[in-house]
A and B are shown apart, each in its own frame.
Chain A
Amino acid sequence: SFELTQPPSVSVSPGQTARITCSGDALSEQYAYWYHQKPGQAPVLVIFKDSERPSGIPERFSGSSSGTTVTLTISGVQAEDEADYYCQSADSSGSYALFGGGTKLTVL
């Protein structure tokens, strides 16, 4: 079955770099998308097609892909970046989408 695996939590101090990984076999064939979600709010797209940044998303957000793992990198983390982060992709045939389990980013 198709799964996307994320670490449950990542903690960093302000100004440091946070890296959140997402692993799954289909990632070698399908793009990944990243969303952040703050409590009580709808998710917001921060990276599309592995590494593209939507307009309005700060440059400190970047994405990369290697084999079956994609990584969201937040450089110079700010307190406002504290949120849940979800990766999303599709099965190898593109028939349906799936979210990873989510990673809680804590800014110490």
Chain B
Amino acid sequence: QVQLQQWGAGLLKPSETLSLTCAVYGGSFSGYYWSWIRQPPGKGLEWIGEINHSGSTNYNPSLKSRLLISVDASKNHFSLELSSVTAADTAVYYCAGAPVLYLLQTVDYFGMDVWGQGTTVTVSS
């Protein structure tokens, strides 16, 4: 049974860099795509980006210029850095994992079936 534990700073000032890490326990680290999702207060879910065990990434185009998602497969960790934050980045941030199967020319994706506990990040001066 895969479980996720996430951590990082919860209070930032405008222009600082948001940094979160998610640790993966149990299961196959290489058998998942690892994602970050956020949810502003009272609003819906926003997909931020994803990474696999070898470091291949996909990013939300609206955040791409400020975003870095990285992986440390030796520690079964993956991380999020979002630079130049503003109040609009205030949200609960979740890490999540989607099991995948690597086929010849594509990746078979089974949806995000494991989630972290969420981290509340507030950006305020």
Which residues in B have their C-beta under 8 angstroms from that of A45?
Answer: 111-113
Among B47, B58, B110, B111, chain A packs the most CB atoms within 10 A around the CB of: B111
Q: For residues 106 through 122 of chain B, which have their beta carbon under 8 Å from a beta carbon of chain A?
A: 106, 109-113, 115-118
Residue of A with least CB distance to B60: A96
Residue of A with least CB distance to B118: A42
Which residues in B have their C-beta under 8 angstroms from that of A95?
Answer: 58
B26 is an interface residue with CB less than 8 A from chain A:
no
A31 is an interface residue with CB less than 8 A from chain B:
yes
Q: Count the B residues whose beta carbon is within 8 Å of the partner chain — how many?
A: 24
- How many CB-defined contacts (below 8 Å) exist between A and B? 60
Which residues in A have their C-beta under 8 angstroms from that of B61?
Answer: 96
Among A95, A97, A102, chain B packs the most CB atoms within 10 A around the CB of: A97
Which residues in A have their C-beta under 8 angstroms from that of B96?
Answer: 42-43
**A48-B110, A96-B58, A97-B35 known; A43 vs B47 contact (CB < 8 Å):** no
Residue of A with least CB distance to B117: A42
Q: Report Cα–Cα, A97/B60, bound state, in Å.
A: 7
**A42-B118, A96-B60 known; A33 vs B112 contact (CB < 8 Å):** yes
Q: Which of B's residues lie within 8 Å of A, judged by CB? A: 35, 37, 44-47, 49-50, 58-61, 94, 96, 106, 109-113, 115-118
Q: Which of A's residues lie within 8 Å of B, judged by CB? A: 31, 33, 35, 37, 42-45, 47-49, 54, 84, 86, 88, 90, 94-102
